[in-house]
Structure 1
Amino acid sequence: MTFPFVLKACARLSDFQLGLKIHTHVLKADVFAKTSLLCIYARCGCLNEAHRLFNEMPTRNVVSWTAIISGYIKAGRFSEAVDSFKKMLEMELMPDSFTLVRLLS
Protein backbone atom coordinates (compact mmCIF):
# COMPACT_ATOMS: atom_id res chain seq x y z
CA MET A 1 0.00 0.00 0.00
CA THR A 2 2.97 2.34 0.46
CA PHE A 3 4.43 2.04 -3.03
CA PRO A 4 1.77 4.11 -4.81
CA PHE A 5 2.33 7.05 -2.45
CA VAL A 6 6.12 6.88 -2.70
CA LEU A 7 5.99 6.58 -6.48
CA LYS A 8 3.52 9.44 -6.73
CA ALA A 9 5.95 11.58 -4.73
CA CYS A 10 8.76 10.59 -7.10
CA ALA A 11 6.60 11.59 -10.06
CA ARG A 12 5.73 14.96 -8.54
CA LEU A 13 9.42 15.59 -7.86
CA SER A 14 10.39 14.21 -11.29
CA ASP A 15 12.88 12.01 -9.43
CA PHE A 16 13.30 9.36 -12.08
CA GLN A 17 16.36 7.74 -10.48
CA LEU A 18 14.59 7.07 -7.19
CA GLY A 19 11.53 5.81 -9.04
CA LEU A 20 13.74 3.46 -11.02
CA LYS A 21 15.26 2.06 -7.83
CA ILE A 22 11.81 1.46 -6.40
CA HIS A 23 10.75 -0.22 -9.64
CA THR A 24 12.58 -3.42 -8.72
CA HIS A 25 10.48 -3.71 -5.56
CA VAL A 26 7.23 -3.10 -7.39
CA LEU A 27 7.56 -5.68 -10.15
CA LYS A 28 5.34 -8.16 -8.36
CA ALA A 29 3.02 -5.55 -6.88
CA ASP A 30 -0.63 -4.90 -7.67
CA VAL A 31 -2.19 -2.75 -10.39
CA PHE A 32 -2.20 0.37 -8.19
CA ALA A 33 1.52 0.29 -7.51
CA LYS A 34 2.31 -0.51 -11.14
CA THR A 35 0.10 2.37 -12.24
CA SER A 36 2.04 4.70 -9.95
CA LEU A 37 5.27 3.48 -11.51
CA LEU A 38 3.75 4.00 -14.94
CA CYS A 39 2.97 7.61 -13.95
CA ILE A 40 6.63 8.22 -13.10
CA TYR A 41 7.81 6.96 -16.46
CA ALA A 42 5.15 8.89 -18.36
CA ARG A 43 5.64 12.18 -16.49
CA CYS A 44 9.41 11.98 -16.82
CA GLY A 45 9.13 11.48 -20.57
CA CYS A 46 10.34 7.87 -20.56
CA LEU A 47 7.54 6.68 -22.80
CA ASN A 48 9.30 3.58 -24.09
CA GLU A 49 9.59 2.32 -20.51
CA ALA A 50 6.05 3.45 -19.72
CA HIS A 51 4.69 1.68 -22.79
CA ARG A 52 6.61 -1.51 -21.99
CA LEU A 53 5.35 -1.54 -18.39
CA PHE A 54 1.82 -0.80 -19.55
CA ASN A 55 1.90 -3.72 -21.99
CA GLU A 56 3.24 -6.04 -19.27
CA MET A 57 0.45 -5.17 -16.84
CA PRO A 58 -1.98 -8.10 -16.69
CA THR A 59 -4.70 -5.83 -15.31
CA ARG A 60 -5.23 -2.21 -16.33
CA ASN A 61 -7.72 0.23 -14.90
CA VAL A 62 -8.90 3.67 -16.03
CA VAL A 63 -6.05 5.29 -14.10
CA SER A 64 -3.48 3.13 -15.92
CA TRP A 65 -4.95 4.07 -19.28
CA THR A 66 -5.08 7.75 -18.31
CA ALA A 67 -1.42 7.66 -17.25
CA ILE A 68 -0.24 6.33 -20.60
CA ILE A 69 -2.57 8.67 -22.51
CA SER A 70 -1.30 11.65 -20.48
CA GLY A 71 2.29 10.65 -21.19
CA TYR A 72 1.63 10.59 -24.92
CA ILE A 73 -0.11 13.97 -24.76
CA LYS A 74 2.73 15.54 -22.77
CA ALA A 75 5.23 14.27 -25.35
CA GLY A 76 3.15 15.62 -28.24
CA ARG A 77 2.36 12.12 -29.48
CA PHE A 78 -1.30 12.90 -30.01
CA SER A 79 -2.19 10.12 -32.45
CA GLU A 80 -0.89 7.53 -29.97
CA ALA A 81 -2.92 9.19 -27.22
CA VAL A 82 -6.10 8.97 -29.31
CA ASP A 83 -5.32 5.38 -30.32
CA SER A 84 -4.85 4.45 -26.67
CA PHE A 85 -8.12 6.13 -25.78
CA LYS A 86 -9.90 4.11 -28.47
CA LYS A 87 -8.33 0.89 -27.16
CA MET A 88 -9.47 1.77 -23.66
CA LEU A 89 -13.03 2.12 -24.94
CA GLU A 90 -12.71 -1.20 -26.80
CA MET A 91 -11.82 -2.80 -23.45
CA GLU A 92 -15.19 -1.46 -22.23
CA LEU A 93 -13.58 0.86 -19.69
CA MET A 94 -15.41 4.13 -19.30
CA PRO A 95 -13.19 7.20 -19.03
CA ASP A 96 -13.47 9.33 -15.94
CA SER A 97 -13.59 13.12 -16.00
CA PHE A 98 -9.80 13.38 -15.60
CA THR A 99 -9.23 11.23 -18.70
CA LEU A 100 -11.61 13.35 -20.74
CA VAL A 101 -10.08 16.62 -19.55
CA ARG A 102 -6.58 15.37 -20.50
CA LEU A 103 -7.75 14.41 -23.98
CA LEU A 104 -9.71 17.57 -24.62
CA SER A 105 -6.96 19.88 -23.37
Structure 2
Amino acid sequence: LAAFDDHGYALRASYALDWQAIEYFADQKLRWLHLGGGAGVKSDGGDGLSFYKRGWSTGSVPAYFCGRILDRTRYAEIVATKRIGATTYFPAYRAGEFG
Protein backbone atom coordinates (compact mmCIF):
# COMPACT_ATOMS: atom_id res chain seq x y z
CA LEU A 1 0.00 0.00 0.00
CA ALA A 2 1.41 3.35 -0.98
CA ALA A 3 0.33 6.94 -1.48
CA PHE A 4 2.01 9.80 -3.27
CA ASP A 5 1.67 13.55 -3.47
CA ASP A 6 1.86 15.53 -6.73
CA HIS A 7 5.66 15.54 -6.60
CA GLY A 8 5.76 11.75 -6.16
CA TYR A 9 3.44 11.29 -9.13
CA ALA A 10 5.54 13.67 -11.24
CA LEU A 11 8.64 11.61 -10.43
CA ARG A 12 6.73 8.38 -11.06
CA ALA A 13 7.96 7.16 -7.69
CA SER A 14 5.64 4.16 -7.73
CA TYR A 15 7.53 2.69 -10.68
CA ALA A 16 10.86 2.92 -8.85
CA LEU A 17 9.45 1.40 -5.67
CA ASP A 18 7.75 -1.45 -7.49
CA TRP A 19 10.81 -2.13 -9.63
CA GLN A 20 12.98 -2.41 -6.53
CA ALA A 21 10.47 -4.70 -4.83
CA ILE A 22 10.25 -6.95 -7.90
CA GLU A 23 14.03 -7.17 -8.14
CA TYR A 24 14.33 -7.92 -4.43
CA PHE A 25 11.82 -10.77 -4.60
CA ALA A 26 13.35 -12.12 -7.81
CA ASP A 27 16.70 -12.28 -6.00
CA GLN A 28 14.94 -14.29 -3.28
CA LYS A 29 13.99 -16.80 -5.98
CA LEU A 30 10.27 -16.30 -5.49
CA ARG A 31 8.24 -17.76 -8.31
CA TRP A 32 5.14 -15.59 -7.96
CA LEU A 33 4.50 -12.03 -6.81
CA HIS A 34 0.94 -10.98 -6.04
CA LEU A 35 0.47 -7.26 -6.64
CA GLY A 36 -3.05 -7.22 -5.24
CA GLY A 37 -6.24 -6.08 -6.88
CA GLY A 38 -7.47 -2.94 -8.51
CA ALA A 39 -9.33 0.01 -7.08
CA GLY A 40 -13.05 0.11 -6.37
CA VAL A 41 -15.70 -2.56 -6.28
CA LYS A 42 -16.02 -3.33 -9.98
CA SER A 43 -14.20 -6.37 -11.27
CA ASP A 44 -13.86 -5.24 -14.89
CA GLY A 45 -10.21 -4.18 -14.49
CA GLY A 46 -10.93 -0.80 -16.06
CA ASP A 47 -9.54 1.33 -13.24
CA GLY A 48 -6.13 3.00 -13.36
CA LEU A 49 -4.62 0.83 -10.64
CA SER A 50 -5.51 -2.36 -12.52
CA PHE A 51 -4.03 -0.89 -15.70
CA TYR A 52 -0.81 0.00 -13.84
CA LYS A 53 -0.46 -3.47 -12.30
CA ARG A 54 -1.11 -5.22 -15.61
CA GLY A 55 1.93 -3.36 -16.94
CA TRP A 56 4.13 -5.40 -14.59
CA SER A 57 2.53 -8.77 -15.18
CA THR A 58 2.69 -11.63 -17.62
CA GLY A 59 -0.67 -13.00 -16.53
CA SER A 60 -3.40 -12.80 -13.94
CA VAL A 61 -5.25 -15.10 -11.58
CA PRO A 62 -8.40 -14.60 -9.51
CA ALA A 63 -7.78 -13.50 -5.94
CA TYR A 64 -10.23 -13.50 -3.07
CA PHE A 65 -9.96 -11.06 -0.22
CA CYS A 66 -11.66 -11.04 3.13
CA GLY A 67 -13.67 -14.19 2.65
CA ARG A 68 -13.61 -15.54 6.18
CA ILE A 69 -14.35 -14.34 9.69
CA LEU A 70 -11.55 -15.52 11.96
CA ASP A 71 -12.69 -13.76 15.16
CA ARG A 72 -16.50 -13.84 15.24
CA THR A 73 -16.73 -11.97 18.54
CA ARG A 74 -14.65 -9.05 17.31
CA TYR A 75 -16.44 -9.05 13.94
CA ALA A 76 -19.83 -8.81 15.72
CA GLU A 77 -18.51 -5.91 17.81
CA ILE A 78 -17.35 -4.01 14.72
CA VAL A 79 -20.66 -4.58 12.92
CA ALA A 80 -22.60 -3.48 16.02
CA THR A 81 -20.74 -0.16 16.19
CA LYS A 82 -21.85 0.63 12.62
CA ARG A 83 -25.53 0.04 13.46
CA ILE A 84 -26.16 -1.73 10.18
CA GLY A 85 -29.31 -3.78 9.73
CA ALA A 86 -29.47 -7.16 8.06
CA THR A 87 -27.35 -7.25 4.92
CA THR A 88 -25.87 -9.80 2.55
CA TYR A 89 -22.87 -7.52 1.92
CA PHE A 90 -19.55 -8.84 3.19
CA PRO A 91 -17.99 -7.61 5.30
CA ALA A 92 -21.18 -6.20 6.78
CA TYR A 93 -19.42 -3.23 8.41
CA ARG A 94 -18.51 -1.96 4.91
CA ALA A 95 -22.10 -2.09 3.62
CA GLY A 96 -23.10 1.09 1.83
CA GLU A 97 -19.60 2.57 1.59
CA PHE A 98 -19.48 2.37 -2.19
CA GLY A 99 -22.94 3.61 -3.08
TM-score by length of 2: 0.30
If asked which structure has higher relative contact order (CA below 8 Å, sep 6+), I would say: 1
TM-score by length of 1: 0.29
Q: Give the structure with higher Rg (CA).
A: 2
